[in-house]
Amino acid sequence: MHLARFPRIRVGHLPTPLEPLERLSRELNGPEIWIKRDDCTGLSTGGNKTRKLEFLMAEALAQGADLVMTQGATQSNHARQTAAFAAKLGMDCHILLEDRTGSNDPNYNHNGNVFLDHLHGATTEKRGSGLDMNAEMELLADKFRSSGRKVYTIPGGGSNPTGALGYANCALELVSQANDLGLTIDHIVHATGSAGTQAGLIVGLKAISANIPLLGIGVRAPKQKQEENVYILAVATAEKLGCPGVVQREDIVANTDYVGDGYGIPTPAGIEAIEMFARLEGLLLDPVYSGKGAAGLIDLVRKGHFKKGERVVFVHTGGSAALFGYTNTFGYDRRPASVAAE
């Protein structure tokens, strides 16, 4: 596998830092927990979509696109990073936003990522939940094409073999950082949704025979479906990279016990994880992805699945901008102000 063969626009602040979480590790009294700071990729508050977009937007540019389209949930971090990337390249950006939660909270519908989409100059339109959103987008793209636009469409989450290259690259980056530090990694954990992050990571890890188990914590689909989605994309990504067959079905492991009531609906464990990371480590997670991912990590440490003496790397996939769409969930304005202990 040789990533330099693929067109790429280097916008991300890479490599992202790999840091120990000392206070969180002490609090949980289990494995040594480290964090791969993909929340720090640099583009419009950062996040994991930037790595994928480096390859996707290079393809858009090579095809002479003047309009980039994508789709996602209302508080999509992918939409926000696409809008920012398009702005940087001087392309127009149009986004279809799916109302997956039915929330009528003004912050959810207009603040956070939605605010940033518009700040970056993207146009948005809404769809109800349950549609085939990629099909909706292609229909609309054809309309733009018939009026003369050169449209490049990016599937939800940037999750196709081109986008997943960004995470094959992240696997190389992470293992090489660990090698430089003399750090052995026993497990890698991250939030998994549209599957590109997990698919890319597993292809990268397997292609270099790192022998590090990867665990995706699901945020939407049931386990079987999530693992199938990741596997199909991983197989296609490995083929694109010229290393077909490196990924086996059993390499793909997702734990979907932390989804709660559904995609984009906060869970008590996710909120606890967000507060723990914020108060023990000064780090920002989000209620849709990284908070649920961290809730899985924390619970699996408490249950002894990850043990003392092991080292676990949590890939922080970003999402902090979504916090401002969910401030009501925390209810701080409804709780009495606390007084410092005397």
Q: Which residues are catalytic?
A: 76
Q: Give CA–CA dist 259/239, Å, rounded.
A: 31
Nearer to ligand PLP, 31 or 166 (CB): 166
Query: Looking at residue 45, what DSSP letter applies?
Result: T
87, 232, 240 from 236: Cα distances, Å: 30, 6, 6
Nearer to ligand PLP, 103 or 194 (CB): 194
Q: Give CA–CA dist 137/127, Å, rounded.
A: 10
Q: Give CA–CA dist 225/192, Å, rounded.
A: 12
Measured between its terminal Cα atoms, the distance across the chain in Å is 60
Nearer to ligand PLP, 153 or 194 (CB): 194
State the Cα torsion 44-49-47-12 to the nearest 10°. -70
Q: Give CA–CA dist 108/192, Å, rounded.
A: 22
* Residues near ligand PLP (CB under 6 A): 47-48, 77-78, 157, 159, 191-198, 286, 289-290, 317-319
Q: Where are the alpha helices (DSSP H) in the chain?
A: 22-28, 49-62, 77-89, 106-110, 112-119, 133-146, 161-181, 196-207, 223-240, 268-281, 290-302, 327-330
Q: Give CA–CA dist 205/230, Å, rounded.
A: 14
Nearer to ligand PLP, 42 or 66 (CB): 42
Burial class (CB in 10 A: 0-12, 13-18, 19+), 37: middle
Nearer to ligand PLP, 30 or 155 (CB): 155
